[in-house]
Structure 1
Amino acid sequence: MCKALSLLANSQNLFVNLARVAIFIVMIWIGGLKAFQYEADGIVPFVANSPFFSYFYKYEAPEYKNYKNPEGKVVAKNIEWNKLNHTYIFSYALGVVICLIGILTLLGIWFPKIGLVGGLLTAGMAIVTLSFLITTPEVYVPNLGGDGPTPNFGFPYLSGAGRLVIKDVIMFSAGLICASNCASRILSCCACKAK
């Protein structure tokens, strides 16, 4: 038992690097998907309702509800509306930013100053994403008029979109852990130089 605990305790740096790799994989994958129409369409409710991002779109919420493409379906009039709304241009730019954050975080394995920036940006991005729990109605199960004395809708009942968003609590924590590790390495380097 003690050997297993010792192995875990001595593997902390390895696990921090594993967190960096995990952040990189998620950011590259999610950021890369922003180049595809279905993903760009899927983020419209989050962006349109966000005080941070809604100004990037031409049309105000809740107009987007009339032009939603179900995942995997292509409706020409909805795509045309999204083009006019700047949905795809914003999604491409957001994808590039997300990919860059992932790369910066991964580079923290070798370059702590770059990794510090990546970790802090990961945590900051997670805070923005978590704000969707307040601003986006689609993160909670809607009232569809279910039977029974206590229908399950609204807060705290997360929809699929809400369950996706709440996971950013983990990204927030992992980003701060990576940033903290980089800060510690930078300070160690400064202490060595001071001697």
Structure 2
Amino acid sequence: MRTRHASADDLASVGFSVLRSALATNILWLGALKFKQYEVENDEPLVTSSPLFSRFREKLGAQKLNRLIGVSEITVGSLIAARPLAPRASAIGSFAAVGMFLTTLGFLATTPGARQEGQGMLSLSQLGQFLLKDTVLLGAALLTAAESLRAARPR
């Protein structure tokens, strides 16, 4: 019976490592893409329809706004990945990711093309489906935040 418990703990440990690595990799990769022109163009419908981001876009322009978002994402991804060396910093990065994913989920409400026209509120377009995946990433960020906080506790 004790062996089963140890195996479950080992599996959970491996799962958290995979989850953290995948979360950090996704955020880092997407942050790096923010420096590409096609990504600036892809993000235009999201930022122009957002009450918060449209103001930043007016002040900074599309390219600078995307670069600012990219730098923020690279910072967040790096902090999450720092867990073996700096669990508190990793927790901060995970909480920042929570904020980031709550923000992107807000685009479901503000972006006109996020739903299929004439199909009802729950019928998401391809863009809406793309945004909805952030619910999974939000859960991953919450779990990695909790795990990092546990690791940062003095023993």
Q: Is the pair's TM-score, using the shorter chain for normalization, greater than 0.5?
A: yes
The corresponding residue for 1:182 is 148
Unaligned runs of 5+ in 2: none
RMSD of aligned residue pairs (Cα, Å): 2.1
1:108 — aligned with what?
Answer: 83
TM value normalised by structure 2? 0.90
Aligned partner of 1:74 in structure 2 is none
**Partners of 1:49 and 1:135 within 8 A in 2:** yes
Give the aligned residue type for 1:106. Answer: A
Partner of 1:166: 132
Q: How far apart in 2 are the matches of 1:5 and 1:157? A: 43
Q: Distance in 1 between matches of 2:38 and 2:45?
A: 13
| 2-structure distance, mates of 1:109, 1:56 | 35
Match runs of 1:1-195 below 5 Å: 7-58=7-58, 86-143=61-118, 153-187=119-153, 189=154, 192=155
Aligned length: 154
The 1-side partners of 2:120 and 2:29 are apart by 30
Alpha-carbon spacing, 1:3–1:185, altered in 2? closer, same or farther (3 Å): closer
> Aligned with 2:52: secondary structure?
coil
* CA offsets 1:113-141 (integer angstroms, 9 cap, x no match): 11110110111111001011111111111
Between the aligned partners of 2:27 and 2:75, the Cα distance in structure 1 is 8
Following superposition, the deviation at residue 109 of structure 1 comes to: 3.0
Give the residue type in structure 2 aligned to 1:27: I
Q: What code does the residue aligned with 1:17 have?
A: S
Larger Rg: 1
Q: Is the 8 A contact 1:20 1:109 kept in 2?
A: no
State whether residues 105 and 114 of structure 1, in contact with CA within 8 Å, keep that contact through their aligned partners in structure 2. Answer: yes
Structure with the higher helix share, 1 or 2: 2
Q: How far apart, CA to CA, are the structure 2 residues paired with 1:115 and 1:172?
A: 15
Displacement over 4 Å in runs of 4+: 2-6
